[in-house]
Amino acid sequence: MKKVRIENISKSFISNDNVLQEVLADINLTIENGEFLCLLGPSGCGKTTLMNLIAGFEQPTRGRVIIDNQTVLRPHSKHITIFQDYGLFPWRTVLDNVVFGLEAKGMQKKEARDIASEYLELVGLTAAAKQFPKQLSGGMKQRVSIARALAVEPDILLMDEPFGALDAFTRYRLQDEILRIWQEKKPTIVFVTHDIDEAVYLGKKVVIMSPNPGQIKTILPINLPRPADRSSEEFAAYRREIFRAFAMVQEKNPEYMI
């Protein structure tokens, strides 16, 4: 079942020197209900802009985004975004950070704390419930932000390079964590990344974007077991296919690097 339809989207901004700059051009994309989709491309190709349009943070210059047969005009409480910088409240404990979104929906405090505790257990942070964000590692902070997002039971989880600032080992652990949660809860996930291995490991579908202006170059279904074996020939074959796609992008845009 189609969850998100992106129809003929273009997006332009006025630059600092008062020039109209087209960031996205003629984007058409369908995202199925419960799909894990990765947006992959070099910096400046419009991945985050496209995600912001899906989230309702911005409006397209042309075209429309449709979710559940409704045109997206503003953010929705069932469409939650997780950013690279965690977005935690430093004055709240881990538990109270997760409680926040539930209370904002009007839930009673005891029920909100019970549900928040369940999601902290899901991400393995029960022991850290009374700690404050400054006491946590980067990986733990990101797990809190994931628990907070999942606690409100979103239909769509939008993740903007959420593991980009983490060391490799923490990133691998959190990739496994988000895969496990996706398989258990089945939200629709749109995951922005510029890391080829991350896209192949996580995505059931990888959308490869090219820059200047941002367009969809290739849509590549990934048929690997989850979790995938990063050392397998099948994994390497997908990496090679994506590298070939980017080689074609860089021929036309040599200043852009993955």
Q: What is the pTM of this model?
A: 0.87
pLDDT bracket for residue 1 (50, 70, 90): low
pLDDT tens, residue by residue, 159-206? 998 888 778 888 888 899 889 888 888 899 999 998 999 999 999 999
pLDDT tens for each residue of 69-88: 999 999 988 898 887 777 88
- pLDDT of 254 reads 57
Q: What is the pLDDT of residue 52?
A: 93
Q: pLDDT, tens digit, for every residue of 37-51?
A: 999 988 888 999 999
The span from the CA of 6 to the CA of 1, in Å, is: 15
Q: What's residue 109's pLDDT?
A: 87
Are 133 and 97 in contact, with CB atoms under 8 Å apart?
yes
Q: Is it the case that residue 95 has pLDDT exceeding 90?
A: yes
Helix (H, G, I), strand (E, B) or coil at 141: helix
Token pair for residue 121? Answer: 């257990």
Predicted local distance difference test score (pLDDT) of residue 251: 60
Where are the domain boundaries for CATH 3.40.50.300 in the chain? Answer: 2-78+154-252
Spatial CA neighbour of 25 closest among 217, 221, 251, 258: 217
The larger pLDDT score, comparing residue 258 to residue 131, is at: 131
CA 192 to chain centre: 5
Contacts for 73 with CB less than 8 Å, ≥ 6 apart? 56, 59
Which of helix, strand or coil describes residue 113? helix
Structure tokens at 68: 């559940």
What pLDDT is recorded for position 257?
52
Q: Which fold has domain 2-78+154-252?
A: Rossmann fold (3.40.50)
